[in-house]
Structure 1
């Protein structure tokens, strides 16, 4: 396995936020060089990325489901989606942040 792939896999374990969201640090580089990686390196990196990316996917689905249709249209219209939504659920307030940011 290439050293760069090993380094990214280890970095993913300690800093997963650097691989998701609008300001991710590594995905453009991974996409650029992925076609030059061996099949083994590609699979190892994809296997390491999958849980982090799926967590972000699930977070975004919940975020969109918790917003009203009007809020969705307003935030999606400009493509920023950076607003925060607070939802009161049975006495608990849950805050969802858009576009990769965390409350």
Structure 2
């Protein structure tokens, strides 16, 4: 993946997360947002320090609204983690556990 594609993904992720807790389409859009976060993670080495800071801010917002994120998911994150052996480092797929605290 090219750097400009990763930047586009980052900008999309920031925009989508900025709309939380409202204005997220409940019909699979949140699943796509988390899939996009996976892509960003896979190519994080292409991001500058400033871009990594932007990613961190967007991640903080996603964590802040974990309950809403979980409610918007159309797939069960636990089943998804088990099926694809998702590591804990991909914390966004553990939003169900973040809501338990």
TM over 0.5: no
Q: Relative contact order: is structure 1 or structure 2 higher (C-alpha 8 Å, sep ≥ 6)?
A: 2
Relative to its length, the structure with more strand (as a share) is 1
Scaled by the length of structure 2, the TM-score of the pair is 0.41
Relative to its length, the structure with more helix (as a share) is 2
